Amino acid sequence: MRNPLFWFPCLVLTIIISHVALAQDITGGGTLVRDITGGAALIFRAPQNPTVQVTGGGRVKSKNKPAVRKQDPILARANAARSAATPRYAEAEQQYRLAAQIAPDDARAFAGLGNVYVDQGRFGEAVDAYQKALKVKPDYNGAYLPLAFSLARLNKFPEAIDVYQETLKRDPAPEVYNNLSFAYNHTGRFQEAVDASQQAIKLAGETGEAYKLGFQERNEIRSYAYKNLGNAYNGLKRYGEAATALKKASEIEPKNVSAHFNLGLTLYNAGRYSEAIESYKEAIKLRPNLAQAHYNLGLTYFAINDKNAAMSQYEALKGIDADLAKRLYDAIK
């Protein structure tokens, strides 16, 4: 795809984390925060346009090719509008809808609509469109992965899990296992999340075996899978293993702020405060205005009775997030 906006859903993903049990009360009444921006654990694979049968002049060149159906030229125009350097989404949507009206039994038109909606972050409409495609043709493989992704983006994780599991029967790619782990974490199914993350890591070549990457970078998948693995171990309160996984995630992608942040949470939960401090410092180095990291760092300093260092984080926070600064002050005063 040449369209820079086509990756909008992937950019939006940078505000998502796994909501596992990472927060913990500390002496003084403060509670670590766990919301963090800077790196998602949900991999996005761009959905492909539906295939069409269109030949020059509208005629079939070979007797072995199926006849061009009247909706195929319409689908081709829709695909072209979606794939343009500057996408013409309104036109693409109109053309896919027209194709669906002409041939309501053709799953391709509904899948194409779903793709247009995903491109624009309209995930509720995308779910409806992909479900219609699968109702028409249950074996339309191209609808499963973007449907599961859309459900996850809507926080409908039990439904997403069902679809990801079905997707694996058709496409056992590492990003599918990674996203399944992400959904398992969100539903508290932490051991299953561990298993899925480990499978994603294995398929992405960590063991030297052959792997299938789909449309994703190998290190991106590996880093996200280790991050999901760490979050799953956190959910199981296996903090040592969680720390090991999150350290690996941060080593693979050193600029992944959330990997350092989540590692700080994990090390704190393990009682490894000095190491937690270093992880939060690394997150702050990468993103100086990350209020949550300053807040958690202040509480961690307070946990080791370094009140002066804790107050320095309060001073830094005052110009970033006054409300969070007040919370920190109340916890450490």
- CATH code of the domain in which 256 resides: 1.25.40.10
- Cβ neighbour number for residue 25 with a 10 Å cutoff: 11
Question: 151 and 228: one domain?
Answer: no
Is 9 among the domain residues? no
Domain boundaries, position 290: 18-40+174-179+189-333
Question: 235 and 333: one domain?
Answer: yes
Q: Where are the alpha helices (DSSP H) in the chain?
A: 8-12, 72-83, 89-102, 107-119, 123-136, 144-153, 157-170, 174-186, 190-203, 218-235, 239-252, 257-269, 273-286, 291-303, 307-318, 322-332
Alpha-carbon distance values, 271 to 240, 243, 262, 274 (Å): 10, 12, 14, 9
Q: Do 297 and 329 touch, CB atoms closer than 8 A? A: no
Is 7 among the domain residues? no
Is 203 among the domain residues? yes
Question: 35 and 47: one domain?
Answer: no
Question: 230 and 193: one domain?
Answer: yes
pLDDT at 46: 87
pLDDT of 16 strictly over 80: no
59 torsion bin: left (phi>0), alpha (psi -120 to 50), beta (else):
beta
Cα 243 to Cα 250: distance, rounded to the nearest angstrom: 10
Is 217 among the domain residues? yes
If one compares 42 and 314, the residue with the highest pLDDT of the two is 314
Question: 48 and 33: one domain?
Answer: no
Instruction: Note the pLDDT tens digit of each residue in 107-129.
Output: 999 999 999 999 999 999 999 99
Confidence of residue 44 (pLDDT cuts 50, 70, 90): confident
Amino acid at residue number 80: A
Question: 198 and 167: one domain?
Answer: no
Q: Do 95 and 84 touch, CB atoms closer than 8 A? A: no
Is 311 among the domain residues? yes
Question: 315 and 228: one domain?
Answer: yes
Q: Do 296 and 268 touch, CB atoms closer than 8 A? A: yes
Question: 92 and 162: one domain?
Answer: yes
Is 12 among the domain residues? no
pLDDT at 209: 55
What is the rounded average pLDDT of the residues 34-59?
A: 70
Is 6 among the domain residues? no
Q: Of 75, 82, 90, nearest to 2 (Cα)?
A: 82
Q: Quick check: helix, strand or coil at residue 171?
A: coil
Q: How many domains does the chain have?
A: 2
Burial 109-148 (b: 16+ CB within 10 A, else e): bbbbbbbbbbbbebbebbbbbbbbbbebeeebebbbbbbb
Residue 258, classified by CB atoms within 10 Å of its CB into exposed (0-12), middle (13-18) or buried (19+), is buried
Question: 240 and 326: one domain?
Answer: yes
Residue after which a domain boundary falls, among 171, 198, 213: 171
Question: 47 and 33: one domain?
Answer: no
> What are 31's strand-pairing partners?
25
Confidence of residue 31 (pLDDT cuts 50, 70, 90): confident
Q: Quick check: helix, strand or coil at residue 100?
A: helix
Question: 49 and 34: one domain?
Answer: no
Question: 228 and 320: one domain?
Answer: yes
Instruction: Note the pLDDT tens digit of each residue in 123-165.
Output: 999 999 999 999 999 999 999 999 999 999 999 999 999 999 9
Instruction: Note the pLDDT tens digit of each residue in 74-94.
Output: 999 999 999 999 999 999 999
**Does the pTM exceed 0.85?**
no
Is 144 among the domain residues? yes
If one compares 321 and 2, the residue with the highest pLDDT of the two is 321
